[in-house]
Amino acid sequence: MKHKHIRQRVFFIISKAEEGDRASRAFDLTIMALIVLSVTAIVLQSFENLALRFANWFTAFECVTVAVFTLEYAARIWTADLLYPNAEHPRLKYILSPMALVDLCAILPFYLPFLGFDMRFLRLVRLFRLLRMFKLGRYSEALQTVVAVMKESASQLIISILMCLFIMLSSAIIMYTVENPVQPEQFPNVIASLWWAICTLTTVGYGDVYPVTAIGRLFASIISLVGIGIIAIPTGIIAAGFSKAIGQTTQTKQEPKSYCPYCGKKLE
Taking CB under 8 A as the criterion, the residue among 12, 33, 174, 254 binding its own copies is 174
**What is the rounded distance in angstroms from the CA atom of residue 25 to the CA atom of residue 33?**
12
Q: Measured from the CB atom, is 111 or 166 closer to its own copies?
A: 166
DSSP per position, 106-128: HHHHHH-GGG-S--GGGGGGHHH
Q: Measured from the CB atom, is 79 or 171 closer to its own copies?
A: 171
Interaction of residue 235 with its own copies, rule CB under 8 A: yes
Outline where the chain has alpha helix (H): 2-14, 22-45, 48-53, 55-78, 80-83, 90-95, 98-111, 126-135, 140-152, 154-179, 190-201, 214-253
**What is the rounded distance in angstroms from the CA atom of residue 268 to the CA atom of residue 265?**
9
Report which residue type is found at 124.
L
Residues linked to residue 259 through DSSP beta bridges, in sequence order:
266
State in angstroms the smallest separation of the CB of 73 from its own copies.
Answer: 22
Taking CB under 8 A as the criterion, the residue among 29, 64, 92, 246 binding its own copies is 246
Interaction of residue 170 with its own copies, rule CB under 8 A: yes
Interaction of residue 185 with its own copies, rule CB under 8 A: no
State in angstroms the smallest separation of the CB of 128 from its own copies.
Answer: 9
State in angstroms the smallest separation of the CB of 17 from its own copies.
Answer: 21
Interaction of residue 234 with its own copies, rule CB under 8 A: yes
Interaction of residue 262 with its own copies, rule CB under 8 A: yes
In this structure, the chain runs to a length of 268
135 burial via Cβ count (<10 Å: 0-12, 13-18, 19+): exposed
**What is the rounded distance in angstroms from the CA atom of residue 100 to the CA atom of residue 92?**
10
State in angstroms the smallest separation of the CB of 116 from its own copies.
Answer: 15
Q: Measured from the CB atom, is 85 or 137 closer to its own copies?
A: 137
Residues linked to residue 266 through DSSP beta bridges, in sequence order:
259
Interaction of residue 59 with its own copies, rule CB under 8 A: no
Interaction of residue 206 with its own copies, rule CB under 8 A: yes
Interaction of residue 195 with its own copies, rule CB under 8 A: yes
Map the footprint of its own copies across residues 105-164, applying CB under 8 A: 118, 120-121, 124, 127, 130-131, 134, 138-139, 141-143, 145-146, 149, 155-156, 158-164
State in angstroms the smallest separation of the CB of 191 from its own copies.
Answer: 7
Map the footprint of its own copies across residues 14-43, applying CB under 8 A: 39, 42-43
**What is the rounded distance in angstroms from the CA atom of residue 168 to the CA atom of residue 8?**
55
